Chains A and B, each alone.
Chain A
Amino acid sequence: MRLSIDVGGTFTDLVMDRGGVLSMYKAATTYPDPVDGILDAVAVAAEQTGGTVAGLLAETDLLFHSTTRAINAVVTGRTARTALLVSAGHPDILVIREGGRTDPFNYQIPYPPPYIPRSLTFEVPGRIWADGREMAPFEEATVLEIITAMRAAGVEAVAVSLIWSIVNPAHELAVGRLIEAHLPGVPYTLSHQLNPTVREYRRTSSAAIDASLKPIMQGYMHALKTRLGEAGLKGRIFAVTSQGGLVDVDDLSERPILALNSGPSMAPVAGRYFSAEEGWDAAIVTDAGGTTYDVSLVKDGVIPWTRDTWLGTIYRGHLTGFPSVDVKSIGAGGGSIARVDASGLLHVGPESAGSTPGPVCYGRGGTRPTVTDAAVVLGYIDPGFFLGGRMGLARDAAREVVERDVALPLGLSVEDAALAIIDLATEQMVNAIEDITVKQGIDPTGTAIIGGGGAAGINTVLIARRLRCSTVIVPDVCAALSAAGAMMSELTRDFAVTAIMPTRLFDPARAQAIVADLTAKAEAFFAAAGADAFDKRIDLAIEGRYPSQVWEIEVPFTPADLGAPDAVARLVAAFHARHQDLFSFRDDGDDVEIMGWRAVARCRVAEESRAHLAPQPGGGPKAVHRTMTFRETGPVEAPAFRWDDLDPAEPVVGPAVIESSFTSVVINPGATARKKPSGQLVISL
């Protein structure tokens, strides 16, 4: 049996996989110790399945865990007191960053403070140059003075990031040895080990974030293992990572930066599974929650990564610089608030009512209309069947605020105002999708879109039409897409090395040696994964660019390519093709500069779950009719079907709604939905 636990800010979700059938449970997240909430969720599962906590845990072979603890610590500034050691002459790497600014005419926005203050930043003598040469010597005595100063300052973690340590790590390693010797027990991160990439700001930022998380995440992972062990867990615990994979919890303690954004990175893992079930190898994966709308992609069966992940606002937050699943997140969701400004322009979000107080229709103190309120006004959500009837919704209150805040100021009927709210939210979501698809070179036309998240059903059909997608897939586990993704993900670790090699000066022996070294590291990782690991794969890629471009693109290759007599021609051809694919042009006449080499090692520790819920039919009438409003039809009597009771042989033709305990999926006029025998909805537009 397998458990997947997702500790969120408000709720702790538990997905249980027993013999290939999934079930979901929830408990409140507890503070300060989230392990209490995890055990509460296990207790709920035990109670509903007629077992005990100890019994369930004893039965568990594998436990997958994800948490927002790391990201929350960064956002709230509750990380360890961390010092930064940088090359002499460059103390302001985190202050100056890479420049960049939005809102050019708004000088009311303050300049952002660095991730680690200047008062805890120290300069290490010594300088390596781009070719690895030592241009200025390392001075141990100065580092010893710095260590004394750090001790006096009560430093709890240290990040070390020296210029060109990726080419020659001697000075960084020397600093590491001195910290080990003179600050025993204080965790530290060396930039070239954590994130071997060119660009000192990105590498320094990842090292700083990683080091600052070490004390709390090491403490937390230790507590998690110990307490679950005491409660009866015998199986292994794996942590979900921002790279869309799993690592042993001890590995996460070593590299806690992997825990950032680990939840959202699981959505495309689930999305890839569900799109593959329908025969798609490319898909747009959306996850619509109460406050954020996350978009990620699947392309040729692969989930694209990025190094451009910002924690917080672009240019003003902190760039992780760390390779992770590319997820575009915007402040739009069911809780986004609609308002009309003084000049008569409608806005939806970024202000959000969140889950507390939540939309007005929740009746928990919300006073301003939200997207969810608009959906209630339009009849898309059944006020009596929200969350399977566990929570009644105040439809009249929703109508009142939509009328007051949107309809009257715009001179519209309440229904037209609600449609306007949905349309504008749709446009914002489309914008977010276009941003990431342009970046990753995907044309949404004709692709599939996966609707995940509790709020997805409201407008996924509209979004898909606007983007000219051909199909919408709404999985039955859409409300817990990330937790489901963990069930089907693999043990993953990436290895990288910076080794600059223009293809005109291609050195086959050196290339072979680099790849052999990366492969050896991957094999060691497989060995550490345990005897049960299977389905081991190593994905190789170069990071390259045309001469004088500065942004590299990743181009996959195989060991056979590299072993071939025309190895370099193959790499160059693959690069041109990938560039064409991403940016619609290629420069056949030109060289390629290989900047780095990567190997991503993947293996399974368990068979992929069958990621569908056990249906629970017979919960009520198969269909009820109520008034719904659509752009095309105006108010119309239309059926609302129970998802669990839908017959796969009978397509649902819009206008209609398909409801489950977790979500409400709007089938707009002209669209047709089919429930697949596996449980998911497939909507043709």
Chain B
Amino acid sequence: MTSAPSPAPTVAPARARPDGVRLAIVQKRFEGVTRKMANTLLRTARSGVINTARDFSCALVTADCELLTAADSYPIHVIGGADLMARAMLDMHPDLKPGDAFLHNSPYHGNSHAADHTILVPVFDDDGRHRFTVLAKAHQADCGNSLPTTYMGDARDVYEEGALIFPAVKVQTGYKDIQDIINICMMRIRVPNQWRGDYLATVGAARIGEQEIMRMGRELGWDALTRHAQDWFDLSEQQMIDCIRTIRPGRARATSVHDPLPRTPPEGIPANADVTVDPEAAIITVDMTDNIDCLPVGVNLSHACARTAAIVGVFNSLPTPMQPNAGSLRRIVVHLREGCVVGIPFHPTSTSVATTNLGDRVTNAVQCALAAIDPAIGMAEGGAAIPPSAGVISGVDPRNGHAFVNEVILAGAGGAGTPTQDGWLSLFSMGNAGMPFYDSVEVDEMLHPMMITTRRLVADSEGAGMHRGAPGLLTEYRPVDCDFELGFCSDGTVNPAKGTRGGHDAQPARQWLAADDGTITPLRTSEQIHVRRDQTVVSYATAGGGYGDPATRDPERVASDVREKWITAGRARDVYKVALAPDGTVDAAETARIRAGA
């Protein structure tokens, strides 16, 4: 079966000219609501993954569960999932009341993955009519998994994964906590006080969103707000139509392959995207149904992540940046299959790592397919997420005897080359789009018994291209005065980020433990390991793929890369076909000669 937004009309219905003044003003106010929620959450959360890495999102949907705004949110978190989550809340709780709040992390009911705890608050008008739903979602430091990590890449199923699953469970009534739910979490989530602090912050953010919308409703009129949403969707759809009409028509398949894990096919997990651009109908279709079934590992995509990853690939590729909402999304059709590894999983399939790994592969495949259809759009593959430099460490801090579990976000993937620009260095992952903050070395050393000895970019690691990928980062760290556990589920060690349209592939990820006596312990793509006090974790994160033939890169950009030591002079000559004079400036005549002879 397929899952797609309701069939999109091929001709936009005739409608009155939108009120460009009222729309602009009211939409600014709605975006102000999500921004205010986000500011509150950022400033008050307790775990590093939220307040240092900014791993959270805020969104609001209409009473009909249509996405109105997700300003400043991680793309993978809410673009294609906020509506599903709100719908699940309505289906399970037909008797919603003001003062209710719901804890939702079920990947089988529209959430991304179990580590993302979402608080949903329905917003009512003064007559008790449900008008909007606000969502605040935050990645938890721990979610009660069987091992101290939120990325259980090797889990056979949700039972081995072990996370507590809350399918839109009521957690507040009459603006007060239902203590039973809190008690369950306090007994099962590691660092329970940290979880409780994050929970308070997330509920606080959702309640601020509720208050703000109620204020707007009273001031501007509830019917006017509802009408605004419909007008805004129509306007966004029209912008999307105009945008798609500038793209060449065509159809292409691209495949991006995730590294093999235990119990997966030995050649890895392919993600095939069949993409069609139909400018006349102004529709882009992504068909993900021709893919293998779910696997007994933790990287299966949830429904929300499969849909969102495909949508993100389209939005990243458009010639004019567009905002995703229910209106613009009417013009993107995504076909998914039940029981498919990049589709709609059945319980108890594990989706522990759904927001990054295979999701990024889907996004990459869509981008490359679009690049094949039209040279002015699309982009190469971005690097892979969650190397050991972004792993979850846990143990007991010898300085205070306290247990700790946290994801350290020291480094992630490099970004992909695009038709117009080089890759973004601190991308982290496609689904997070470079929005996470990277940890401060000093803050991590203060909070955890660890020393980060190295964090630097790796010269010559980029996927070369007319627009090159961003280089990879090397991170080295070790425990101090103790051992600790490290969990990570990476990708890109076997399958580096690919270039497109003649751009080169990036250097792959690599990781190992280096003991002080020189012993090297190689590490696979996904591990849960013990790191001894005499060992250093060495993690090369993947670079981004290149876009276009490197021999067509602007020689001045190549000279600048050499001067700034992003690449060596040898690579400039061999790969980019650019010769430099001894003072580092471009030797134009020699460059022309090499490029002509290439």
Q: Do A and B come from one complex?
A: yes
| Interface residues of A, Cβ cutoff 8 Å to B | 89-92, 95-111, 117-119, 127, 129-131, 135, 163-164, 198-201, 340, 342-347, 409-412, 420, 423-424, 427-428, 430-431, 434-435, 438-439, 500, 502, 546-551, 582-585, 587, 590
Chain A residue at minimum C-beta to C-beta distance from B318: A105
B29 proximity list for chain A (CB < 8 A): 427
Is A585 touching B422 in the complex (CB atoms < 8 A)?
no
Contact with A119, one of B24, B193, B242, B564 (Cβ below 8 angstroms): B564
Given A103-B321, A107-B379, A428-B28, decide whether A117 and B564 contact each other with a Cβ distance below 8 A: yes
Residues in B neighbouring A109, C-beta threshold 8 A = 421
Contact with A along B111-122 (1 / 0, CB 8 A): 000000000000
* Residue in B28, B36, B238 whose beta carbon sits within 8 Å of that of A438 in the complex: B36
Interface residue? B23 (CB, 8 A):
yes
**B2 lies within 8 A of chain A by Cβ:** no
Which of B437-445, B491-499, B514-522 faces chain A? B437-445
Which residues of chain A come closer than 8 Å to B281, judged between CB atoms?
Answer: none
State whether A96 touches B32 (Cβ < 8 A): no
| Closest beta carbon of chain A to B359's beta carbon, Å | 14
Are B453 and A127 in contact (CB-based, < 8 A)? Answer: yes
Contact A110 B21 (CB under 8 A): no
Verify B43–A96 contact, CB threshold 8 A.
Answer: no
In angstroms, Cα B194 to Cα A117, docked, is 39
Which residues of B have CB within 8 Å of A434? Answer: 32, 36
CA distance A411 to B315 in the complex (A): 32
In the bound complex, residues from chain A placing their C-beta under 8 Å from that of B441 are: 90, 163, 200
Contacts beyond the supplied A107-B418, A343-B242, A427-B29: 7 A-B pairs with Cβ under 8 Å: A100-B435, A101-B424, A118-B566, A199-B443, A431-B35, A438-B40, A546-B46
3 tightest A-B CB contacts, nearest first: A101-B434, A104-B433, A99-B438
Q: Which residues of B contact A127 (CB under 8 A)?
A: 451, 453
Beta-carbon contact of B443 and A97 below 8 Å: no
* B48-56, B88-96, B523-531 - interface stretch: B48-56
* Number of B residues with CB within 8 Å of any CB on chain A: 90
In the complex, what distance in Å separates the CA atom of A420 from the CA atom of B379? 39
Cα-based distance from A590 to B399 in the complex (angstroms): 19
| Contact A343/B239 with A99-B428, A105-B315, A109-B421 known, Cβ cut-off 8 Å | yes
Q: When the two chains form their complex, are residues B421 and A104 in contact, meaning their CB atoms are under 8 A apart?
A: no
Question: Is B260 in contact with chain A by the CB < 8 A criterion?
Answer: no
Is B264 part of the binding interface, using a Cβ–Cβ cutoff of 8 Å?
no
| Min distance, Cβ A186 to any Cβ of chain B, angstroms | 23
Q: Which chain B residue shows the least CB distance to A409?
A: B20
B598 close to A (CB within 8 Å): no
Q: Are A101 and B435 in contact (CB under 8 A)?
A: yes
Q: Once bound together, how far apart are the Cα atoms of A546 and B447, in whole Å?
A: 12
Q: For the complex, what is the distance from the CA of A164 to the CA of B480, rounded to whole Å?
A: 15
Cβ < 8 Å to A, chain B residues 443-477: 443, 445-447, 451, 453-457, 470, 473, 476
Asked if A107 and B415 sit within 8 Å, CB to CB, the answer is yes
| A345 touching B23, Cβ below 8 Å | yes
Shortest distance from the beta carbon of B503 to any chain A beta carbon, whole Å:
14
Interface residue B426 (Cβ < 8 Å from any Cβ of A)? yes
Is B575 at the interface (CB under 8 A from chain A)?
A: no
Which of B45, B191, B411, B440 touches A549 (beta carbons < 8 Å)? B45
Distance between Cα atoms of A587 and B239 in the complex (Å): 47
Chain A residues with CB under 8 A of B593: none
Chain A residues lying within 8 Å of B45, measured Cβ to Cβ, are: 549
B316 at the interface (CB under 8 A from A): yes
The answer for the CA separation of A590 and B191 in the assembled complex, in Å, is 13
Can you list 6 contacts pairing A with B, beta carbon distance less than 8 Å?
A101-B434, A198-B440, A344-B18, A410-B21, A411-B17, A427-B29
* Cβ contacts under 8 Å, A119 to chain B: 563-565
Q: Are A89 and B315 in contact (CB under 8 A)?
A: no
* CB-based contact A427/B25 at 8 Å: yes
Quick one: which of B194-220 are within 8 Å of A by CB?
A: 194, 197, 200-201, 204, 208
Q: CA of A130 to CA of B435 in the docked complex: distance in angstroms?
A: 27
Give chain A residues whose Cβ lies under 8 Å from the Cβ of B23.
Answer: 345
In the complex, B256 has a CB within 8 A of chain A: no
Q: With A111-B424, A546-B197 as given contacts, are A100 and B418 in contact (CB-CB < 8 Å)?
A: no
Which of B235, B440, B457 is within 8 Å of A98, CB to CB? B440
A60–B379 Cα gap in the complex (Å)?
64
Interface centre among B54, B197, B318, B441 (most CB of A within 10 A): B441
Set A99, A131, A199, A424: member contacting B24, Cβ < 8 A: A424
A89-B455, A200-B441 known; A110-B28 Cβ under 8 A: no
A434 to B36, CA, bound (A): 8
Query: Which residues of B are found within 8 Å of A584, using beta-carbon distances?
Result: 204, 208
A122 to chain B: closest CB distance in Å? 12
Q: Which of B51, B433, B453, B473 contacts A551 (CB 8 A)?
A: B51
Instruction: Let me know if B39 is at the binding interface, CB within 8 A.
Output: yes
Q: Which A residues lie within 8 Å of B399 (CB)? A: 131
Chain B, Cβ-Cβ closest to A167: B442
**Residues 3 to 25 of chain B near chain A (Cβ within 8 Å):** 17-18, 20-21, 23-25
**Residue among B25, B200, B435, B480 making CB contact with A129, cutoff 8 Å:** B480
A423 with B25: CB separation less than 8 A:
yes
Determine whether B487 belongs to the interface, using a CB cutoff of 8 Å to chain A. no
Q: How far is the CA of A469 from the CA of B528 in the complex (A)?
A: 55
B425 close to chain A: CB less than 8 A: yes
**In the complex the two chains form, what is the Cα distance from A345 to B238 in whole Å?**
12
- Evaluate contact between A550 and B52: CB separation under 8 angstroms: yes
CA separation between A97 and B43, bound complex, in Å? Answer: 20
A99 touches B456 (CB 8 A): no
A99/B39 in contact, CB under 8 A: no
| CB nearest to A103 among chain B residues | B321
- Asked if B588 is at the interface (CB within 8 A of a chain A CB), the reply is no
Q: How far is the CA of A431 from the CA of B239 in the complex (A)?
A: 25
Which of B21, B416, B434, B438 has its CB near the most chain A CB atoms (within 10 A)? Answer: B21
The contact of A96 among B239, B433, B447, B455, by CB within 8 Å, is B455
The residues of A that contact B446 with a CB separation of less than 8 Å are 130, 198, 500
Does B552 have its Cβ within 8 Å of any Cβ on chain A?
A: no
A345 touches B235 (CB 8 A): yes
Q: Bound complex: CA of A423 vs CA of B25, how far in Å? A: 8
Which of B40, B421, B440 counts the most chain A CB atoms within 10 A? Answer: B440
Say how far B246's CB is from chain A's closest CB, in angstroms: 12
Q: Does B391 contact A (CB under 8 A)?
A: no
Q: Using Cβ atoms and an 8 Å threshold, which residues of chain B touch A111?
A: 415, 422-426, 470
Chain B residues near A108 (CB, 8 Å)? 321, 418, 420-421
A96 touches B424 (CB 8 A): no
Q: How far is the CA of A6 from the CA of B291 in the complex (A)?
A: 67
Q: Is the CB of A343 within 8 A of B235?
A: yes
**For the complex, is B181 an interface residue (Cβ under 8 Å from A)?**
no
CA distance A604 to B401 in the complex (A): 49
- The verdict on B75 contacting chain A, using a C-beta distance below 8 Å, is yes
CB within 8 A of A100: which of B54, B315, B421, B443? B54
B421-A107 in contact (CB<8A): yes
Q: Does B44 contact A (CB under 8 A)?
A: yes
Docked Cα-Cα span, A384 to B42, in Å, equals 50
Q: Contacts of A551 on B, CB cut-off 8 Å?
A: 42-43, 51
Question: Contacting A345 at CB < 8 Å: which of B20, B242, B422, B425?
Answer: B20
Distance from B194 Cβ to chain A, minimum over Cβ atoms (Å): 5
A411–B20 Cα distance when bound, in Å, is 10
A99–B476 contact, CB under 8 A? no
- Evaluate contact between A118 and B565: CB separation under 8 angstroms: yes
Contact status A548-B48, CB under 8 Å: yes
Contact present for A129 and B445 (CB under 8 Å):
yes
Q: Are A89 and B453 in contact (CB-based, < 8 A)?
A: yes
Is there an interface contact between A129 and B451, defined as CB atoms closer than 8 Å?
yes
In the bound complex, do residue B25 and residue A548 qualify as a contact, i.e. CB atoms below 8 Å apart? no
CB pair A548–B47 under 8 Å, yes or no, is yes
From known contacts A105-B322, A345-B24, A435-B39, infer whether A200 and B440 are also in contact, taking CB-CB under 8 Å.
Answer: yes
CA distance in complex: A550, B439 (Å) = 10
The closest CB in chain B to the CB of A166 belongs to B442
Q: A439-B43, A585-B44 are in contact. Are A344 and B422 (CB under 8 A)?
A: no
Beta-carbon contact of A585 and B321 below 8 Å: no
Contact (Cβ within 8 A) B324 A105: yes
